Amino acid sequence: MSILVRMGEIQEAEEMIDISRAHIDSTLFQGDATLEFAERLAGMGAKVVVPTTLNVSGVDEMGWQEWAVPPEYAEKAHRQMLAYQSMGTEPTWTCAPYQVAQKPSFGEQIAWGESNAVCFANSVLGARTIQYPDLLDICAAITGRVPAVGLHLEEHRVGQVLLELVGIPEDLQRDDSFPPVLGHLLGTLASERVPVIDGLSVELSEDQLKALCAGSASAGSVNLFHIIGQTPEANTREEAFAGGEPVESHRVTLEDLAAVREELNSSDGETLEMVVLGSPHFSLAEFRTLAPLLEGKKRNAGVEFLVTSSRAMVALARDNGLLEPLEAFGGRVTVDTCILTTPMLYPETKRLMTNSAKYAYYSPGLLGVEVAFGNMADCVKSAVEGTVTVDRSRWEA
């Protein structure tokens, strides 16, 4: 509680409020410090007082031995998992808790960590949370109280920056590579402000909204966006801006988006060692979309094909017969964690391809690899051919 009060003072909060739910990002293992912090809390017998889900961990508890994870690292990361599990939390181990556990409801005050999940909870569900940093999220779950600041308060949820999309073809709006690109642009233009998107004629799917959140919260600090006519606090432009005017407006054309898309991919024709899908964690619907793309095909011997997801979603996919096509293709699944949060990649991996803006943004720095970006079908095709193969037709006027 003392940490929360000190943070409240720094953020100049006038009061503390109750929360009814938490999502803990502190589960990411970053070295001895995060383990010591978790074990100190667990050792004091700390228990959460609200329903609390857990974000990805530092290790795939079931399958880390199949990859390059050093045993000493796995042991410590696993101890950190046990520490957070001992506090009465739900061991969901996923960065897409909104697809695995009960969704927060509109207007609910919650304390969530994990940038994409914060953005999804605020933007898509209309729940209220600031982006809780690691170490503070668990304090909020244990006390059930947080400083009333930022997006917890109505007045900070008003749109500020307008992005007006002009002439974006509907088949592109439906594509899985569209939201990551739009998200990357959104994060770059809005930075830490609240952007409002107008001009979409297709209703985005839950997985597309997830990808939009991940992209905008990686390239920038977007914790809340509005889409006119689609998200719950933006039925009209007037509602999104609370009757006011945007402080900044941008007109976004197909050409602009195509340029951002190129920024994420510069590897046409190059060989690749890996394709990885599932940041944020792959959903059942995504397994359903992927399965027919893999039918009757086999990955190139030089290309690993990996899907990162939660154990709950993988169990559902198995029950629905969606893992057989993946296994027949030569693909593998990792649960609980992802390529950015556990040192699982083989040193031979020099270039990976993904349809995730988040993987594309962070992989060069965290993993020291080159990244290629494409939609799911491009990723499958490239895994078969062994070289980066991208169909740009949707991005051309």
Tokens found for residue 233:
């606090």
The span of 33-41, 277-285, 323-331, 378-386 binding another protein (CB under 8 A) equals: 33-41
Q: Length of the chain, please?
A: 397
CA distances from 306 to 30, 157, 267 (A): 23, 37, 19
Q: State how beta strands 274-282 and 351-354 pair.
A: parallel
The CB-of-84 to another protein minimum distance in angstroms stands at: 13
The DSSP code for 205 is P
CB 92 within 8 A of CB 193: no
The DSSP H or E segment spanning 46 is: none
Q: Does 33 bind another protein (CB under 8 A)?
A: yes
Among 54, 67, 87, 137, binds another protein (CB under 8 A): 137
Binding flag, residue 6, another protein (CB under 8 A) = yes
Pick the closer one to another protein by CB: 2 or 65.
2
For residue 254, which of 306, 330, 199 has the smallest C-alpha distance? 199
Give the SS3 label for residue 163.
strand
Minimum distance of another protein from residue 260's CB (angstroms): 12
- Site residues for another protein, 38-67, by CB under 8 A, read 40
Query: Per CB under 8 A, which of residues 357..396 are in contact with another protein?
Result: 361-362, 364-366
Using the rule CB under 8 A, is 273 a contact of another protein? Answer: no
**Residue 350 binds another protein (CB under 8 A):** no
Distance of CA 310 to the CA centre of its chain: 13
Q: How many residues bind another protein (CB under 8 A)?
A: 42
Site string for another protein, 219-248 (x = CB under 8 A): xxx---------------------------
Residue 25 binds another protein, judged by CB under 8 A:
yes
Helices 115-123 & 206-219 angle (0-180, nearest 10):
130
Beta strand pairing call for 226-227 and 195-198: parallel
d(CA 4, CA 17): 11
State yes or no: residue 132 binds another protein (CB under 8 A). yes
Binding residues among 151-190 for another protein as defined by CB under 8 A: 187
* 313 contacts 100 by C-beta, under 8 angstroms: yes
Positions that interact with another protein (CB under 8 A): 3, 6-7, 10-12, 25-26, 28, 30-34, 36-37, 40, 113-115, 118, 131-137, 187, 191-192, 217-221, 340, 361-362, 364-366
